[in-house]
Structure 1
Amino acid sequence: MKKLLKQTAAILMTAALSSLAMASAEKPLKVGFVYVGPVGDAGWTFGHDEGRREMLESLGEEKVETTFVESVAEGADAERVIRTLAQQGHDLIFTTSFGYMNPTLKVAKQFPNVKFQHATGYKRAKNVGTYSARFYEGRYLTGVIAGHMTKSNTIGYVGSFPIPEVVQGINAFTLGLRSVNPDAKVKVVWINSWYDPAKEREAAESLIAQGADIINQHTDSPAPVQAAQDKGVYAFGYDTDMTRFGPDAHLTGSLVDWSGYYTDTTKAVLDKNWKAGDVWGGFAAGMIEMAPYNKAIPESVVKQVEALKAELSNGELAIFQGPIKAQDGSVKVAAGTTLLNSRLTI
């Protein structure tokens, strides 16, 4: 009788362990996202959240469960939010702003079994990868369009922070501008914020008052496009298609599609073949695309831009090709030298 009871207990224990194993195997992967702005910003954060939603739809809710925290300030608050997501059992965490770099690395050391992916950063660890897009490719093309479309030869640029990614974009835009219009100049107003519609609009209106007849931006709201629409000048949106905010003003914009990256990265974790590394995609990778062209752009200019886009995609065109000089006249890229596959700024 005792032997029978032991056998029965063993069978029940095996069944229980088997049930636990099945439940564990069926548990969806928890993926967290930390956003610097609100999901409704119509720009940077909206684009990332769109990528999250498309990833979820592609992989299925039975495999993946997502959480996002929006409007997280860079710094101590970011560290708190990232740590909380890790403590809540998230297996993969995407931190989507440059200022999250050091907080991400700090939390990653405390949670070595959690995978982290940091957007636009350059520091990596065993469980921290980085990713970004070649924003400058789209910036260069908007510069070419601006060079053809401006009448005042003054372009206004609403900048967020003077960090490498933003400076790189302004440089690429200026090189595209001057490739077709050497007399054109770019005026920049820094607002020291990623998302502040009031400041963004104020900066755009200030630039228009200074003679800018085209406005570009590296900020997250459509306020500069709306200001351009109200003032009767042109504008380029950013991250997502902002045509609806200024149908007459919006010439086009450099779009970023994160959906493929988020899907592939999450699938790599599910398949247990994720490795920390760096992803940096442009037109060729499908990460960068152009918004629809305004009918005001001459057909010849659109054809030129599409031809340049093809050259960027196949590697025939190098944007940062010397000689390139800084404003003080110092040589930053020597003649015969090209900055390729580098996140260096000039």
Structure 2
Amino acid sequence: MNLKAILLGCALSTGLVSAVHADEPIKVGFVYVGPVGDGGWTYAHDQGRLAMKKALGDKVKSTFVENVPESSDAERVIRQLAADGNKIIFTTSFGFMNPTLKVAKAFPNTYFEHATGYKMAKNVGIYQARSWEGAYMLGVLAGEMTKSNILGFVGSYPVPEVVRNINAYTLGAQSVNPKIKTKVIWVSSWYDPARERQAAETMIAQGADVLAQNTDSPAVVQTAEEKGVYAFGWDSDMSKYGPKAQLTASTLNWSKYYTMEVKKVLDGTWKPDNTLWGIKEGMVVLTPLHSNVPEKVAKDFHAKEQAIIDGTLVPFTGPIVNQEGKTVVPAGEKMPLDQLLSINFYVKGVEGTIPK
């Protein structure tokens, strides 16, 4: 046995491998549910990854796997990233939660963080954005700009995250226009441009003149542009696909968060946490308003945005009434966070039913 092998053996037996490899970059893995593309949820996460790489330089080496189905394939991908030596792995979709937890048990010395989930472990943290704040603000603008009082929303899957955003959108609109009704079409996919387009066209035909979405492609904004109605970018700025249609976009900026968490790994201070950031923390960012937005509407919009930052406006504050007319949150009270994060009903004004 040569001297190098002997030294490595000693390091292994005394737990000094980290010191031996201290100058090597740590590996960071990302699992994406859709294509990176140039817009939407996955694009926003990848922009965060790139910003983290730029901030930390040669201290890190990152990799990602895109278009990972929320199925047994997810477990396989996550397991492979762990086996490849990634020290921390970010799994960025709701359906990756259970596969992440399963792999984490098999790799106790690897750190995992799951986006939009609610289950934690010794080496699994969770993080998400208060995206409902952005959805509420889009609703405020929709309520002011609509002429038909009919709004449209293209939903992906009926998980609490999406139901919550539909409700927030409706509540925001009703805060300035009590006549609002919201139509919802579910496409059973996070990213399916053809179905998203079809859903948008259907709602426009039904009278909706302002569209929102919780899907990843710019198809809804493109369709709005073609049909002469308004829409909003979601998770990223989609104005280049609808320069006349997009009134604003509720975007997600993961840069600060990813840099912070990977730095904790480098510093040896990482621990599982439950992080929930919104407009105040700069994770939810509203893009500049379209020039078509009247000055008074823009002023009121920005005042509400500042109120969210100040904490004087909390979107899910009562009275909140469900479709059946039952008050679920009394006037002046805030919906408890656990109820908000597991919400499974539509508020009054949203048409249709939530798919089972």
Other-structure match for 1:237: 233
CA distance in structure 1 between the aligned counterparts of 2:5 and 2:298, rounded to whole angstroms: 71
CA distance in structure 2 between the aligned counterparts of 1:56 and 1:186, rounded to whole angstroms: 41
Q: Which one is further off, 16-25 or 116-125?
A: 16-25
Q: 1:250 to 1:125 in 2, by over 3 A?
A: same
CA distance in structure 2 between the aligned counterparts of 1:109 and 1:220, rounded to whole angstroms: 31
Structure 1 runs of 4+ with >3 Å offset: 9-23
> Is 2:160 the partner of 1:164?
yes
Other-structure match for 1:6: none
RMSD: 2.1
2:264 is aligned, of 255, 264, 268, to: 268
Q: Deviations over 1:70-100 (max 9, x none)?
A: 0000010000000000011110000000000
Deviation, structure 1 residue 112: 0.4
Other-structure match for 2:330: 334
CA distance in structure 1 between the aligned counterparts of 2:25 and 2:220, rounded to whole angstroms: 41
Other-structure match for 1:316: 312
- Whichever residue aligns with residue 29 of structure 2, its letter is G
1:97 is aligned, of 77, 84, 93, to: 93
SS in 2 for 1:253: strand
Other-structure match for 1:188: 184
- Whichever residue aligns with residue 112 of structure 2, its letter is F
Deviation, structure 1 residue 13: 6.7
Q: Deviations over 1:31-64 (max 9, x none)?
A: 000000000051000000000000000000x210
Q: Deviations over 1:215-264 (max 9, x none)?
A: 11000000000000000110011001100000000100111100000000
CA distance in structure 1 between the aligned counterparts of 2:160 and 2:274, rounded to whole angstroms: 16
> Is 2:142 the partner of 1:154?
no
CA distance in structure 1 between the aligned counterparts of 2:18 and 2:207, rounded to whole angstroms: 68
Q: 1:93 to 1:151 in 2, by over 3 A?
A: same
> Is 2:17 the partner of 1:26?
no
- Whichever residue aligns with residue 29 of structure 1, its letter is I
SS in 2 for 1:251: strand
For residues 203-214 of structure 1, the aligned pairs below 5 Å read 203-214=199-210
For residues 42-191 of structure 1, the aligned pairs below 5 Å read 42-60=39-57, 62-191=58-187
CA distance in structure 2 between the aligned counterparts of 1:12 and 1:156, rounded to whole angstroms: 65
CA distance in structure 2 between the aligned counterparts of 1:11 and 1:245, rounded to whole angstroms: 58
Q: Which one is further off, 32-41 or 115-124?
A: 32-41
Q: Which one is further off, 333-342 or 50-59?
A: 333-342
Other-structure match for 1:5: none
Q: Which one is further off, 32-41 or 16-25?
A: 16-25
Q: 1:116 to 1:233 in 2, by over 3 A?
A: same
Deviation, structure 1 residue 337: 2.0
Contact 1:41 1:220 in 2 (8 A): no
CA distance in structure 2 between the aligned counterparts of 1:133 and 1:303, rounded to whole angstroms: 25
Other-structure match for 1:302: 298
CA distance in structure 2 between the aligned counterparts of 1:69 and 1:121, rounded to whole angstroms: 19
> Is 2:244 the partner of 1:248?
yes
Contact 1:318 1:340 in 2 (8 A): no
Deviation, structure 1 residue 332: 1.6
Q: Which one is further off, 64-73 or 327-336?
A: 327-336
2:215 is aligned, of 215, 219, 222, to: 219
Q: 1:296 to 1:112 in 2, by over 3 A?
A: same
SS in 2 for 1:25: coil
Contact 1:320 1:340 in 2 (8 A): no
SS in 2 for 1:212: coil
SS in 2 for 1:77: helix
Q: 1:241 to 1:168 in 2, by over 3 A?
A: same
CA distance in structure 2 between the aligned counterparts of 1:135 and 1:255, rounded to whole angstroms: 9
Deviation, structure 1 residue 303: 1.1
Q: 1:23 to 1:208 in 2, by over 3 A?
A: same
Contact 1:42 1:240 in 2 (8 A): yes
Deviation, structure 1 residue 16: 11
Ranges in structure 1 where 5+ consecutive residues have no aligned partner:
1-8
- Whichever residue aligns with residue 141 of structure 2, its letter is I
CA distance in structure 1 between the aligned counterparts of 2:18 and 2:89, rounded to whole angstroms: 24
Other-structure match for 2:348: none
Deviation, structure 1 residue 330: 2.0
Aligned length: 337
